[in-house]
Amino acid sequence: MVYNAQKGYFKEQRSVAEINQLFKGLNNVSSPAKTATLKINGKVMSDEGGGGMSDEPTCTDWYWVEPIYDGNGNIIGEVWTYLNRTCSTTGGGDGGSGSENEPEPIVEFGEADDTPIGATIEESSSEQKIVNVSWYCYKVNGKNLRFKSYEKVKIEPPIMGTQWLVADITHTSMSPEGSIEGQGISPILNWSQGETTMNSAWAKMKLNFKDKRTYYWKGILRTRYSPDINAARAWGIYELIGY
Protein backbone atom coordinates (compact mmCIF):
# COMPACT_ATOMS: atom_id res chain seq x y z
CA MET A 1 0.00 0.00 0.00
CA VAL A 2 1.50 3.33 -1.10
CA TYR A 3 0.11 6.80 -0.32
CA ASN A 4 -0.07 9.23 -3.21
CA ALA A 5 0.40 12.69 -1.66
CA GLN A 6 -0.39 14.55 -4.89
CA LYS A 7 -3.73 12.84 -5.44
CA GLY A 8 -4.54 12.24 -1.79
CA TYR A 9 -5.33 8.55 -1.82
CA PHE A 10 -3.74 5.20 -1.13
CA LYS A 11 -2.75 3.02 -4.04
CA GLU A 12 -2.66 -0.76 -3.70
CA GLN A 13 0.65 -1.24 -5.52
CA ARG A 14 3.20 0.44 -7.73
CA SER A 15 4.48 -0.96 -10.99
CA VAL A 16 8.19 -1.59 -11.48
CA ALA A 17 8.30 1.43 -13.80
CA GLU A 18 6.71 3.64 -11.12
CA ILE A 19 9.13 2.41 -8.45
CA ASN A 20 12.06 3.04 -10.77
CA GLN A 21 10.81 6.56 -11.52
CA LEU A 22 10.30 7.24 -7.79
CA PHE A 23 13.82 6.03 -7.07
CA LYS A 24 15.33 8.36 -9.67
CA GLY A 25 13.16 11.32 -8.63
CA LEU A 26 13.99 11.06 -4.96
CA ASN A 27 17.69 10.73 -5.66
CA ASN A 28 17.53 13.87 -7.79
CA VAL A 29 16.21 15.94 -4.89
CA SER A 30 18.50 14.44 -2.26
CA SER A 31 21.17 16.74 -0.89
CA PRO A 32 24.81 15.74 -1.49
CA ALA A 33 25.31 15.27 2.24
CA LYS A 34 22.30 13.04 2.68
CA THR A 35 21.33 10.47 0.03
CA ALA A 36 18.83 7.63 -0.04
CA THR A 37 18.75 4.26 -1.74
CA LEU A 38 16.19 1.76 -2.97
CA LYS A 39 16.49 -1.76 -1.64
CA ILE A 40 14.85 -4.94 -2.85
CA ASN A 41 14.70 -7.67 -0.21
CA GLY A 42 17.67 -6.02 1.46
CA LYS A 43 19.74 -5.63 -1.71
CA VAL A 44 20.70 -2.13 -2.86
CA MET A 45 19.53 -1.35 -6.40
CA SER A 46 21.25 1.25 -8.56
CA ASP A 47 19.58 3.64 -10.95
CA GLU A 48 22.56 3.44 -13.28
CA GLY A 49 21.61 1.71 -16.52
CA GLY A 50 18.48 0.14 -15.04
CA GLY A 51 20.54 -2.68 -13.52
CA GLY A 52 18.50 -5.38 -11.84
CA MET A 53 15.16 -3.62 -12.00
CA SER A 54 13.60 -6.37 -14.17
CA ASP A 55 15.23 -9.35 -12.44
CA GLU A 56 13.42 -9.36 -9.09
CA PRO A 57 12.64 -12.73 -7.52
CA THR A 58 9.20 -14.31 -7.44
CA CYS A 59 8.01 -11.98 -4.65
CA THR A 60 9.85 -8.71 -3.98
CA ASP A 61 9.52 -6.28 -1.05
CA TRP A 62 10.44 -2.70 -1.99
CA TYR A 63 11.83 -0.25 0.62
CA TRP A 64 13.01 3.35 0.49
CA VAL A 65 16.07 3.52 2.76
CA GLU A 66 17.41 6.78 4.23
CA PRO A 67 20.66 6.86 6.24
CA ILE A 68 20.92 8.49 9.70
CA TYR A 69 24.05 10.56 10.28
CA ASP A 70 25.78 11.65 13.47
CA GLY A 71 27.30 15.09 13.98
CA ASN A 72 30.48 14.06 12.16
CA GLY A 73 28.68 12.86 9.04
CA ASN A 74 29.04 9.17 9.84
CA ILE A 75 26.17 6.80 9.10
CA ILE A 76 24.86 5.40 12.37
CA GLY A 77 21.61 3.86 11.18
CA GLU A 78 18.94 3.62 8.48
CA VAL A 79 15.24 4.40 8.20
CA TRP A 80 13.43 1.85 6.03
CA THR A 81 10.11 2.92 4.49
CA TYR A 82 8.11 0.06 3.04
CA LEU A 83 6.76 0.81 -0.43
CA ASN A 84 5.03 -2.36 -1.65
CA ARG A 85 5.43 -5.96 -2.79
CA THR A 86 5.41 -7.19 -6.37
CA CYS A 87 4.96 -10.87 -7.19
CA SER A 88 5.23 -12.88 -10.36
CA THR A 89 4.68 -16.53 -11.25
CA THR A 90 7.22 -16.24 -14.05
CA GLY A 91 10.33 -15.32 -12.09
CA GLY A 92 10.21 -11.56 -12.58
CA GLY A 93 7.52 -8.96 -13.07
CA ASP A 94 4.92 -6.77 -11.51
CA GLY A 95 1.98 -8.14 -9.52
CA GLY A 96 2.03 -11.48 -11.37
CA SER A 97 1.74 -9.94 -14.82
CA GLY A 98 5.45 -10.09 -15.71
CA SER A 99 7.91 -7.30 -16.28
CA GLU A 100 7.11 -4.91 -19.08
CA ASN A 101 10.61 -5.51 -20.41
CA GLU A 102 10.51 -9.28 -20.08
CA PRO A 103 11.28 -10.81 -23.51
CA GLU A 104 8.98 -13.49 -24.85
CA PRO A 105 10.63 -16.94 -24.66
CA ILE A 106 12.24 -18.11 -27.89
CA VAL A 107 10.66 -21.26 -29.29
CA GLU A 108 12.95 -23.27 -31.55
CA PHE A 109 11.39 -26.09 -33.56
CA GLY A 110 13.29 -28.99 -35.09
CA GLU A 111 13.27 -31.39 -38.02
CA ALA A 112 12.46 -34.99 -38.92
CA ASP A 113 14.78 -37.77 -37.78
CA ASP A 114 14.99 -41.50 -38.57
CA THR A 115 17.43 -42.85 -35.97
CA PRO A 116 16.56 -46.41 -34.86
CA ILE A 117 16.46 -47.24 -31.14
CA GLY A 118 15.70 -50.94 -30.95
CA ALA A 119 13.37 -53.89 -31.47
CA THR A 120 11.92 -56.31 -28.93
CA ILE A 121 9.92 -59.47 -29.65
CA GLU A 122 6.59 -59.40 -27.81
CA GLU A 123 5.27 -62.72 -29.10
CA SER A 124 6.92 -65.61 -30.93
CA SER A 125 5.20 -68.80 -32.10
CA SER A 126 5.15 -71.01 -35.11
CA GLU A 127 2.16 -69.04 -36.42
CA GLN A 128 3.33 -65.42 -35.95
CA LYS A 129 5.78 -63.05 -34.36
CA ILE A 130 4.92 -59.62 -32.89
CA VAL A 131 7.83 -57.16 -32.74
CA ASN A 132 7.78 -53.74 -31.06
CA VAL A 133 10.15 -51.23 -32.66
CA SER A 134 11.11 -47.72 -31.56
CA TRP A 135 12.89 -44.86 -33.27
CA TYR A 136 13.55 -41.14 -33.02
CA CYS A 137 11.29 -39.36 -35.49
CA TYR A 138 12.12 -35.75 -34.51
CA LYS A 139 15.02 -33.74 -33.12
CA VAL A 140 15.77 -30.13 -32.20
CA ASN A 141 19.38 -29.37 -33.05
CA GLY A 142 21.39 -27.97 -30.16
CA LYS A 143 18.64 -28.81 -27.65
CA ASN A 144 18.01 -31.77 -25.38
CA LEU A 145 14.77 -32.69 -27.13
CA ARG A 146 13.68 -35.52 -29.40
CA PHE A 147 10.43 -37.34 -30.13
CA LYS A 148 10.35 -41.13 -29.83
CA SER A 149 7.88 -43.20 -31.85
CA TYR A 150 6.73 -46.79 -31.18
CA GLU A 151 5.36 -49.21 -33.80
CA LYS A 152 4.07 -52.79 -33.73
CA VAL A 153 5.05 -55.17 -36.53
CA LYS A 154 3.30 -58.46 -37.28
CA ILE A 155 5.42 -61.13 -38.99
CA GLU A 156 4.08 -64.39 -40.40
CA PRO A 157 5.71 -67.59 -41.64
CA PRO A 158 6.19 -67.94 -45.37
CA ILE A 159 3.81 -69.88 -47.58
CA MET A 160 6.82 -71.15 -49.45
CA GLY A 161 10.47 -71.23 -48.44
CA THR A 162 11.95 -70.42 -45.03
CA GLN A 163 11.98 -66.60 -44.90
CA TRP A 164 9.48 -65.00 -42.49
CA LEU A 165 7.66 -62.05 -44.00
CA VAL A 166 6.10 -58.83 -42.72
CA ALA A 167 2.30 -58.90 -42.67
CA ASP A 168 1.45 -55.56 -41.05
CA ILE A 169 2.83 -52.52 -39.18
CA THR A 170 0.80 -50.12 -37.01
CA HIS A 171 1.67 -47.00 -35.02
CA THR A 172 1.43 -47.38 -31.23
CA SER A 173 2.43 -44.08 -29.59
CA MET A 174 4.76 -41.09 -29.60
CA SER A 175 6.39 -39.28 -26.68
CA PRO A 176 8.93 -36.49 -26.05
CA GLU A 177 12.37 -37.28 -24.67
CA GLY A 178 14.30 -34.48 -22.99
CA SER A 179 13.11 -31.00 -22.07
CA ILE A 180 13.49 -27.27 -22.66
CA GLU A 181 13.40 -25.05 -19.58
CA GLY A 182 10.17 -23.12 -19.11
CA GLN A 183 8.31 -24.87 -21.94
CA GLY A 184 5.76 -27.66 -22.00
CA ILE A 185 6.28 -30.05 -24.93
CA SER A 186 3.80 -32.38 -26.62
CA PRO A 187 3.89 -34.22 -29.96
CA ILE A 188 0.57 -33.92 -31.80
CA LEU A 189 0.02 -36.73 -34.30
CA ASN A 190 -1.94 -35.76 -37.42
CA TRP A 191 -1.81 -39.16 -39.11
CA SER A 192 0.23 -42.35 -39.41
CA GLN A 193 0.55 -44.74 -42.33
CA GLY A 194 2.12 -48.20 -42.28
CA GLU A 195 3.42 -49.65 -45.53
CA THR A 196 4.24 -53.21 -46.58
CA THR A 197 3.37 -55.50 -49.47
CA MET A 198 2.19 -59.07 -49.79
CA ASN A 199 5.09 -61.41 -48.99
CA SER A 200 7.20 -58.41 -48.01
CA ALA A 201 10.60 -58.52 -46.32
CA TRP A 202 10.31 -54.96 -44.99
CA ALA A 203 7.96 -52.64 -43.10
CA LYS A 204 7.75 -48.84 -43.26
CA MET A 205 6.02 -46.25 -41.06
CA LYS A 206 5.19 -42.71 -42.13
CA LEU A 207 4.21 -40.07 -39.56
CA ASN A 208 2.83 -36.55 -39.87
CA PHE A 209 2.82 -34.52 -36.65
CA LYS A 210 3.38 -31.17 -34.94
CA ASP A 211 5.55 -30.02 -32.04
CA LYS A 212 3.28 -28.25 -29.52
CA ARG A 213 4.86 -25.86 -26.98
CA THR A 214 3.28 -24.07 -24.05
CA TYR A 215 4.83 -21.40 -21.80
CA TYR A 216 3.88 -18.46 -19.61
CA TRP A 217 4.73 -14.93 -20.70
CA LYS A 218 3.63 -11.92 -18.63
CA GLY A 219 1.37 -14.23 -16.65
CA ILE A 220 -0.47 -15.52 -19.73
CA LEU A 221 -0.31 -19.10 -21.01
CA ARG A 222 0.88 -19.10 -24.62
CA THR A 223 0.72 -22.00 -27.12
CA ARG A 224 2.83 -22.41 -30.25
CA TYR A 225 2.75 -25.12 -32.92
CA SER A 226 5.45 -26.12 -35.38
CA PRO A 227 4.68 -26.59 -39.07
CA ASP A 228 3.71 -30.15 -40.02
CA ILE A 229 6.64 -32.57 -39.73
CA ASN A 230 6.89 -35.63 -42.03
CA ALA A 231 9.09 -38.48 -40.82
CA ALA A 232 9.54 -42.04 -42.07
CA ARG A 233 11.50 -45.17 -41.13
CA ALA A 234 11.77 -48.63 -42.71
CA TRP A 235 12.87 -51.96 -41.13
CA GLY A 236 14.10 -55.07 -42.90
CA ILE A 237 13.15 -58.55 -41.70
CA TYR A 238 16.68 -59.20 -40.40
CA GLU A 239 16.51 -55.99 -38.33
CA LEU A 240 13.25 -57.20 -36.83
CA ILE A 241 13.95 -60.83 -35.92
CA GLY A 242 17.62 -61.31 -36.71
CA TYR A 243 17.24 -63.81 -39.57
Q: Which helix (H) or strand (E) holds 20?
A: helix 16-29
Query: Residue 16 and residue 37: Cα distance in Å, rounded?
Result: 16
User: What is the spatial order of strands in the sheet that 129-139 belongs to?
Assistant: 111-124, 129-139, 145-156, 165-178
List of long-range contacts for 127-136, beta carbons under 8 Å, 24+ apart = 127/156, 127/157, 128/154, 128/155, 128/156, 128/157, 128/167, 129/154, 129/155, 129/156, 129/164, 129/241, 130/154, 130/155, 131/155, 131/240, 131/241, 132/172, 133/235, 133/240, 135/233, 136/177
What are φ and ψ of residue 239, in 5° steps? -65, -30
The CA-CA-CA angle for residues 120, 179, 95, to 5°, reads: 150
Return the DSSP state at 196.
-
Each residue's pLDDT expressed in tens, for the chain with a length of 243 residues = 444 444 444 444 555 555 555 555 544 444 344 455 555 545 555 444 444 444 544 677 676 777 777 888 887 666 666 666 677 655 444 444 445 677 888 899 999 999 999 999 999 988 899 999 999 999 999 999 999 999 999 998 887 777 888 989 999 999 999 999 999 999 999 999 999 876 688 899 999 999 999 998 888 888 999 999 999 999 988 888 877
Closest residue by Cα to residue 22 from 43, 4, 42, 41: 4
